[in-house]
Structures are given as C-alpha cells and as structure tokens.
Copies of this chain bind each other. A is one copy, B any other.
Amino acid sequence: MKPMDSEMLREQGHIMVDFIADYYKNLEDSPQDFPVLSQVQPGYLRDILPDSAPDHPEPLKELLHDVSKKIIPGLTHWQSPSYFAYYASSTSVAGFLGEMLNAGLSVVGFTWLTSPAATELEVIVLDWLAKLLQLPDHFLSTGRGGGVIQGTGCEAVLVVVLAARDRIMKKAGKNSLSQLVVYASDQTHSSFRKACLIGGIHEENIRLLKTDSSTNYGMPPKSLEEAISSDLAKGFIPFFICATVGTTSSAAVDPLVPLGKIAKSYGIWMHVDAAYAGNACICPEFRKHIDGVENADSFNINAHKWLFANQTCSPLWVKDRYSLIDALKTNPEYLEYKVSKRDEVVNYKDWQISLSRRFRSLKLWMVLRLYGAENLRNFIRDHVNLAKNFEDYVAQDAHFEVVTTRYFSLVCFRLAPVDGDEDKCNERNRELLATVNSTGKIFISHTALSGKFILRFAVGAPLTEEKHVTEAWRIIQKHATEFIHNKKK
C-alpha cells in the first residue's frame, strides 16, 4: 500500500463523486430522510464508533456505509433546500470543483516562490472581485492596497485590528495598549470583541454603541462622534471602528458615509464587515449599501456565505497593505529567496495569522468563470426575491409581524404579542422555534432585538426554490396555529 497512487485516486475519486452527487439528489428528492437540523442526542457517535483507530486498512465501501449510517444522521444539512438558519454557507458545483482541485494539487503558497500561481491568481481574482463590487481603486493591487483571502471574517477582522493597533502604537508608544479604544455597534459580530481581546485591548475599552429600531439597528453616527469626543477628553486613544453592512442578527446596515467621515476626521481605522451582505453588492441595485466604503481602511466579505465559493473563503481588501505586513511579517532564514524582497512579489504569509495557506483563489476563480457575473447576480436576486415572498406571507398573517426592514435575504419576524404581553410573546416564539425545528423539515434560527426573541428566516442555500419557501411558511403557520388557537402556554 502507498499513500498516493493515481489509479487508486481515480477509482475511489469516482466513487466519491457519485456518493456526493447522490447526497444532493437525495437531499432534494427525499427530504424526509434528511432532517435539516440533526435530531441526534449528545454523545450519539461515541456509542457507535470504536474506541481506537484500526491497525489495518478498511475498505472505502465500509467507510462510506458508515458515513451514510453514522455520520449523515448527525449532520445539520447546511446545503438542504430547506435550510434557513443563521446565514447560509453555500457551496455550488463550481465551488465544490474548486475545493477538489485545490485538494488535488495540494500546493502551499505561503511565499510567492512556493507556488507563484497561487499567489498571483489570488491577487488577480481579488482585483476582479473588487471591480465587480465597484470598490475604490485604492483597494486594488495596483496601488498601496490589495486583497487577500482569509479563512473567515473572524480572521479578517483580527488581522486588521492588529494592523491598526500596531500602527497606532508606533506613535503612541509600546505602553499605550491600555489607552486604546475601539468602537462598533452592539449588533457587531462577536468576532470583533474576540479579536480585540486577542490583541490585548482592554475589555472595558471596547465601546459597543447602543442601537435600536429607530435606525433599524444601524449604528447612530451621533453616538460614535460623542463617544470619540468623550474618550479623547479622558485621554483615551480611539483607533478602530468596526462598521457592519448586514449584521448577523438582523442584517442591519451601519451608515458608512457619515461613519467614514468621522473615522477620517479623527484618523481612525475603519473596517467594514460585510461578510454576508457584501456579496449582494455585486448587483448594482444593492451596491448603495456600501456607499461610503471609499473612506474605509479595510473591507471584507465571506464568499463562502453567499458567493457560492464553498467553505472558508473570506476576501479582505486593505487600503495600505504595508500596515498589514508590518504587523504580521516573519523572516525566517529558511524561507528567504532571491525575489522575496518587499515590493517585487507578494508573500501572503505576511498578510495573515498562519504561515501555511490553501490555494483558495482557485475556487473563487472557478466560481466567477463557470457562472459568470450575471448568473451570480441572478442567484443572489433569486434569494432576495424568495425572502421577499416570505416577508409577504408574514405580513399577510395578522398573528405574525415583520420586525425589521428587510434589505437582503433575511426576514426577521415573530408571532405578534397578544394584549401587549411581551414575556408571553417571547415564550411562544421560543417554543414555536423549537417545534418547527424539531420536525426536521426546516431549520430556522433566532436572535434578540431590543430584548425581544425574534425568529430569523434567511434564504441562501444553493438548492432553495420557491416551493421550499412556501412549504416552510406552511410549516411555521401550521405549528403556530397550535399556540394561537389552543392558547397553549
């Protein structure tokens, strides 16, 4: 037995392709066999797998049998057409093929030398994508800026917090860390706070500005301006603003134009986290939501969320790549080579946390080429239209209410309170969520807005069609009836 044999790869690769194609076929045709939210109990797998690795090889057939019987029941099917939870993490045929090809070639492009194509394709494809998003020229690789594919939005915000931190500490001194202050709204993704804590920012210096329904949960520029003034007066050093376009909770949009002006006037780094909604900005009609990005220092989308790129593909653009490199560079002798100097080539190891990296641009390139920009825009529009349908269903049912303005493919809604009893309303919605998810027929998720328990219906999975949305609403309505008519609870 050898670790690599091209004919064995061929034979077993074909078997695996059929296994995966069958999975998608069955996911569509036999949804009853695939509860969208897994219904297993904690510890289920320990009971049915051996305690230790086998000494001797087991056949692929047996392994795939175990995948079907033991693993798949424990999956929550993110690619199911009836997946409406969180935000989608969508693959596509092209994204899947891109991952396959990356896994097949298995190169590690940490420096330019270790696979020039991996670096150069990433530079080029991120310029392509920046153009589709109509990002300002300073984010292109032709100037001081440029793009890099991080694994996740969490990594993206971490590296720019570090870049901004090190930039300010160069001026403010190495003991200034405890004075550094950051700003975001209370709707900002939890990874921002985590990134700050990782970077040693004091927890009490993380200002999460209050939002409410009056701005549809967008960050109020006035609050930001006041917070900065107040902090400056107290001797703090404001250095970072994280604005969000499409928050995780409710797809709220922070107003980039006024926020960017404030950031600019105080010389503060502004990062735009557009992990989900940024993808929609390849459509001209949604582009307005990132107006003002020209005043940002960095901008991020998760192409694995809604650009069909398969997992961990999070493009980040920065205005000044040297700020990233200054914070993250390493120069061990064993990686030096003739053209490794600063400007001649890109060495992406200095733009990210890890040394090692995958050839992620391959799948983004394949998605862009195999679908073309127009189809990608239409995929997104289809999802938005499906969400609009769902929003209409909700609006037409007096027992329910839509709770925030829908900008993209997320609908925030709930069973409306009866006689103004918010506590009971929260309880009923919590119960409705548990009930519909326990059917296994659909998976939706929840959030809290202004203390209210809110249901989230997010369209974005690659197989979702109108019938799935209609059916989802039917299921929600049906189970809601139990609460409405029986006045259960």
**Residue A298 CB within 8 A of the other chain:** no
CA distance A15 to B298 in the complex (A): 39
Q: How far is the CB of A432 from chain B (nearest CB, A)?
A: 14
**Residue A414 CB within 8 A of the other chain:** no
Residue-wise interface mask of A (106-120) relative to B, using a CB-CB cutoff of 8 A (1 in contact, 0 not): 111000111111101
B-side contacts of A456, CB under 8 Å: 334
In the complex, which of the residues B96, B103, B129, B152 contacts A354, with contact meaning CB atoms closer than 8 Å?
B152
Interface-lining segment among A17-25, A221-229, A230-238, A289-297? A17-25
Tell me if B55 and A372 are in contact (CB < 8 A).
Answer: yes
Q: How far is the CB of A344 from chain B (nearest CB, A)?
A: 6
Known: A116-B45, A120-B46, A154-B353. A1 touches B371 (CB 8 A): yes
**Residue A175 CB within 8 A of the other chain:** yes
CA distance A162 to B198 in the complex (A): 7
Q: How far is the CB of A411 from chain B (nearest CB, A)?
A: 14
Q: Which of A1-33 contact B (CB under 8 A)?
A: 1-10, 12-14, 16-25, 28
Tell me if B42 and A117 are in contact (CB < 8 A).
Answer: no
Tell me if A37 and B128 are in contact (CB < 8 A).
Answer: no
In the complex, which of the residues B1, B96, B108, B344 contacts A78, with contact meaning CB atoms closer than 8 Å?
B108
**Residue A420 CB within 8 A of the other chain:** no
**Residue A131 CB within 8 A of the other chain:** yes
B-side contacts of A200, CB under 8 Å: 177, 199-200
A94, A162, A327: residue with the most chain B Cβ atoms closer than 10 Å: A94
B-side contacts of A129, CB under 8 Å: 53
Which residue of chain B is the closest to A377 with respect to CB atoms?
B55
Which residue of chain B is the closest to A78 with respect to CB atoms?
B107
Tell me if B356 and A152 are in contact (CB < 8 A).
Answer: yes
Tell me if B311 and A358 are in contact (CB < 8 A).
Answer: yes
CA distance A49 to B128 in the complex (A): 11
Residue-wise interface mask of A (38-57) relative to B, using a CB-CB cutoff of 8 A (1 in contact, 0 not): 10101111100101111111
Tell me if B63 and A117 are in contact (CB < 8 A).
Answer: no
Known: A116-B42, A330-B191, A375-B1. A7 touches B20 (CB 8 A): no
**Residue A435 CB within 8 A of the other chain:** no
**Residue A477 CB within 8 A of the other chain:** no
CA distance A190 to B371 in the complex (A): 40
**Residue A194 CB within 8 A of the other chain:** yes
A57, A90, A332, A356: residue with the most chain B Cβ atoms closer than 10 Å: A356
Known: A44-B116, A199-B200. A334 touches B249 (CB 8 A): yes
Q: Which of A421-460 contact B (CB under 8 A)?
A: 434, 445-448, 456
Q: Which of A157-182 contact B (CB under 8 A)?
A: 158, 162, 174-175, 177-178
**Residue A476 CB within 8 A of the other chain:** no
Tell me if B42 and A344 are in contact (CB < 8 A).
Answer: yes
CA distance A89 to B368 in the complex (A): 28
CA distance A121 to B73 in the complex (A): 13
Q: Which of A114-156 contact B (CB under 8 A)?
A: 114-118, 120-121, 123-125, 127-129, 131-132, 151-155
A92, A114, A118, A127: residue with the most chain B Cβ atoms closer than 10 Å: A114
Known: A42-B339, A370-B58. A332 touches B23 (CB 8 A): no
CA distance A327 to B63 in the complex (A): 37
**Residue A71 CB within 8 A of the other chain:** yes
11 contacts between A and B (CB under 8 A): A7-B25, A9-B96, A38-B117, A42-B339, A45-B124, A52-B132, A57-B372, A79-B105, A91-B103, A96-B106, A190-B331
Closest 10 A/B residue pairs (Cβ): A200-B200, A74-B117, A20-B104, A10-B21, A13-B17, A99-B103, A4-B462, A6-B24, A190-B330, A3-B92
Given A40-B117, A174-B202, 11 more A-B residue pairs with CB atoms under 8 Å apart are A4-B24, A7-B25, A10-B18, A13-B20, A16-B104, A71-B117, A76-B113, A77-B107, A154-B355, A197-B327, A249-B333
